[in-house]
Amino acid sequence: MMLRAFKQARAVFSLLSADEIQRQAEQPLHIGLVADSIGAYAELENFLMPAGLLRDAYRRQMHQVHRADDVEPRNMVDLVLYEPGLPCPKGAYSFHREDPEATVAEILHDKDELALALGRQFPAFRHAVLERIIHTVARENALFAVATALPNVIPSLIELP
């Protein structure tokens, strides 16, 4: 069992790549917004880019957020966010006005491969992504600690008289 735990740990460490993690975090994301009024678009934009962002960060993110009523809408986006109350097709997400964290959780559940980039580029996702990373690392550390401690608790056949 101990040998298996070490093999698993070795496999995990071999998969770690700082370059790959950085690539995932820095991949540019584009989010489409669908709403029926200027105020609703503003609400969705404020969810993604809350007040208080530095001007440069706000401008950079505005190039990543696309309204459905733009003169030249972007053909491909990574996810689409709908105003509450509008019919939302499969694969898109409805903004939960009363519980924005539920919107974040729903998106991260379905778009796990975009989690690092969403957390890095959009403040609304940052806390949830950090919590997921902390819990994942803590769980892996606990499993490793248990697996390496088991031989001390349970004697092997070699140690038996």
DSSP secondary structure string, 69-83? TSSS--S--SEEEEP
Structural domain count, the chain = 1
30 phi/psi in degrees, rounded to 5: -125, 130
Reported as a single tens digit per residue, the pLDDT across 117-154 is 999 888 899 899 889 888 877 877 777 777 776 666 66
- Domain assignment present for 38: yes
Beta-carbon contacts of 13 under 8 Å, excluding residues fewer than 6 positions away, are none
Specify if 106 maps to a domain: yes
Cα angle for residues 66, 67, 73 (degrees, 5° grid): 70
Q: What pLDDT is attached to residue 22? A: 72
How far, in Å, CA of 148 to CA of 143, rounded? Answer: 9
Q: What's the domain range around 136? A: 27-150
Query: What is the pLDDT, as a whole number, of residue 23?
Result: 72
pLDDT score recorded for residue 79: 93
Dihedral, 124, 126, 129, 133 alpha carbons, nearest 10: -170
Report if residue 71 sits inside a domain.
yes
* Model pTM score: 0.72
- Within-domain flag for 91: yes
Q: Is residue 136 part of a domain?
A: yes
Low-confidence ranges of the chain (pLDDT < 70): 1-17, 53-55, 57-58, 149-161
- 75, part of any domain: yes
The pairing of beta strand 31-34 with beta strand 65-67: parallel
